[in-house]
Amino acid sequence: MADLTQHEWISKLAADNNAVVLDVRTPEEVAEGIIPNAKHIDIFKGQGFVDEIQQLDKIKTYFVYCKAGGRSGQACAVMNQLGFKKTYNLLGGFNEWQGEVSSI
C-alpha cells in the first residue's frame, strides 16, 4: 500500500490500464457524489466487505478512497493481507477531491 496525494493518485491512475477505483464509504456518503467509474464496497459491512473484496481480481491495481483517507488506508491494509499487491490510498479522501464527481 502507498498513500498518494491527489496529484500522484490521478497521475498513476491515468498511467495504469489495469486500474480499478474503489470507494469504501457508506451509502449515505456515496449519495453526496462519487468519483466517476468507481466501484462501491462499504468497509463498514465487516465480513461482507471482506467477502466482496475477495471476489475482486488480485492482479489489478486498486485506487482506494473514503471520506478523509482513514478507512481507505484500512481497506488497503486488509486488501494487502488478502493478497492484493498494488493498492493506493487517496490522502485526504473525497473531502479534498478536486477532480470530477458524478452522482449515482
The CA–CA distances, whole Å, from 4 to 71, 92, 101, 103 equal 14, 9, 19, 24
CA distance 101 to 73: 21
CA distance 100 to 104: 13
Q: Which of 66, 75, 79, 90 is catalytic?
A: 66
- Of 61, 72, 76, 75, which is closest to residue 95 (Cα–Cα)? 72
Catalytic annotation on 66?
yes
Show which residues are catalytic.
66
